[in-house]
Structure 1
Amino acid sequence: MQDGVIRISCPVSGCYRILKPEHCRSILQSEVFDKWQDKLREAEIPVRDRIYCPYKICSALMVKGPDFKDLLDIECHSCHKLICAKCNVPWHYGVDCQEFQKLHQDESENEAVMLTQLAKRKRWTQCPECKIYVEKIVGCSYMTCRCRNDFCYSCGGQLGAGGHICPKPPQ
């Protein structure tokens, strides 16, 4: 689960069924069982419908409902703090989204540059689907992102049923 793998095949030779958390409840710690169920629920929500609380102490997953486009602010169901529904940042009281973006443009540009520099130094790769940074510690270049997109860590190319021949040498 730490690597984002939530669909676990049965370990019995010749069995290709996918294990469900309830089948393993008796051998799992309650925290692991709960986390597995949470990750499976999260995987059922399309990436475009997910929003995460921007507060670092929280980061709770929320689902964008059908009326989401009409909302200005939303309350996190976990920490109960207000979030700007348009910017996905902590609620900016008394400042509209355009003004807020202008106020923090320099800051966000600096943060983006710092993140890009860190990613280059650490040799991280971005998922071509959701743009989150991924770090490979060991193993092959076949990556499955938390958004369930399969891609090559070395070149960022999509991995399909036909396989992938990477033009870059492994990192």
Structure 2
Amino acid sequence: MLVLREKLHRDQLVVSGKAIHCIVPDCEGYAFIFPNEQTTACIVCRASLCVKCKRGTHPTLTCVENQALSANDSLDDILFSRKWKRCPCCGIPVEKIEGCNYIACFSPICKGKKGLCYKCGKELDEEQHFSHYTNKGPYGDTCNTLDGLPG
């Protein structure tokens, strides 16, 4: 009964335009949509999703360009299966090994000057290091995006 209730709740959120279905195979999750946000994350598997095209995030490409690159799908499958994220600024895959969920991207493009939430994949600045993790802090298992909170 609980599973049916959760599915009904998810479907109501999707139909009302407040959420999108997760694109990861076998994931029953969904991701909240917030005004003026381009990315979001599945509350179950934490996959980072583009709100506009409802596919995996693609920071350096438009939705049309991303859809044209079918070879990118296999890389996205690997990223999703390992729960890695793409930097929202440069698109380079990043992996968190330990520590809090706010991480800096040290790619040759970002050079440690750009940060992101490892839970939802959103770009964060240094000032959001703590405010993006309202309920359980930056070491917790959730963030504002996954909790359905703005910012």
Normalising by the residue count of structure 2, what TM-score does the alignment of the two structures yield? 0.37
Relative to total residues, which structure has the larger helix share, 1 or 2? 1
Relative to total residues, which structure has the larger strand share, 1 or 2? 2
Q: Which has the higher contact order (CA 8 A, sep 6+)?
A: 2
Normalising by the residue count of structure 1, what TM-score does the alignment of the two structures yield? 0.34
